[in-house]
Chain A
């Protein structure tokens, strides 16, 4: 079974600074998808970024980018120019190709400080 680990339960960053959230996963699959979701205090789950394992290029979405290291089974999220609105829980998720469901990590609570 796949597992997803987020080793940082809580992190904080100063506004406008850069922060990196870590995620590692365990799988024997070669073809899969990885995601970062954001959950602000409103509780709504919001997709931040996704990465297909067959793509070598790291995904980017505006201030959000990932460092995907397939051999190391690592998928970290970098947030540049942090904003107060980035304060949220961040969940890393894994889905193997042709599977039906995601496996989520336990989450990292990020606080952006003014």
Chain B
């Protein structure tokens, strides 16, 4: 257990509304990631962070923004949700130990439905 929680775990919202998903970790990991999971695509990277206030775009970043004001929290925001953003969202951290470096550990996921 890498101490990763996500909130909310489920959310239903309407097109055009803003949505923020939160990822919280308790072990002071430097790297944090947001992925989305869709059938036939596996997991695709949205954004990642390599430190407080340091973020970068991933493969599918359009329509998403992130913020990291504290080491433990990484927020994913959909400024104006669309139906194409209906997905399961996973947060992940990168291991920092000698044997876990270069591994990623995942949170439990958030199922988001945009109507």
Within 8 A of A (CB), among B12-32: 31
Give B contacts to A, CB under 8 Å: 31, 33, 35, 40-45, 48, 50, 56, 58, 88, 90, 92, 102-106, 108-109
Question: Interface residues of A: mostly helix, strand, loop or mixed?
Answer: loop
Q: Report whether B42 and A106 are in contact in the complex, using a CB–CB cutoff of 8 Å.
A: yes
Q: Report whether A100 and B48 are in contact in the complex, using a CB–CB cutoff of 8 Å.
A: yes
Residues of B near A50 (CB, < 8 A) are: 102-103
Q: Report whether A105 and B58 are in contact in the complex, using a CB–CB cutoff of 8 Å.
A: no
A101 at the B interface (CB under 8 A) = yes
Give A contacts to B, CB under 8 Å: 4, 9, 33, 35, 43-45, 47, 50, 91, 95, 100-102, 104-107
**Residue from B31, B56, B104 having most chain A Cβ neighbours under 10 A:** B104
In the complex, what distance in Å separates the CA atom of A15 from the CA atom of B16? 48
Q: Report whether A101 and B43 are in contact in the complex, using a CB–CB cutoff of 8 Å.
A: no
Given contacts A43-B109, A91-B42, A91-B43, contact A102 B104 (CB under 8 A): yes
Q: Report whether A100 and B105 are in contact in the complex, using a CB–CB cutoff of 8 Å.
A: no
Contacts A47-B105, A107-B42 aside, 8 further interface pairs with beta carbons under 8 A come to A4-B42, A45-B43, A45-B90, A45-B92, A100-B31, A100-B56, A102-B43, A104-B42
In the complex, what distance in Å separates the CA atom of A76 from the CA atom of B18? 41
Given contacts A43-B108, A43-B109, A100-B48, contact A35 B103 (CB under 8 A): yes
In the complex, what distance in Å separates the CA atom of A106 from the CA atom of B40? 5
A68 → B minimal CB distance (Å): 16
Residues of B near A107 (CB, < 8 A) are: 42
Q: Report whether A101 and B58 are in contact in the complex, using a CB–CB cutoff of 8 Å.
A: yes
Residues of B near A4 (CB, < 8 A) are: 42
Which residue of chain B lies nearest to A6 when distances are taken between CB atoms in the complex? B42
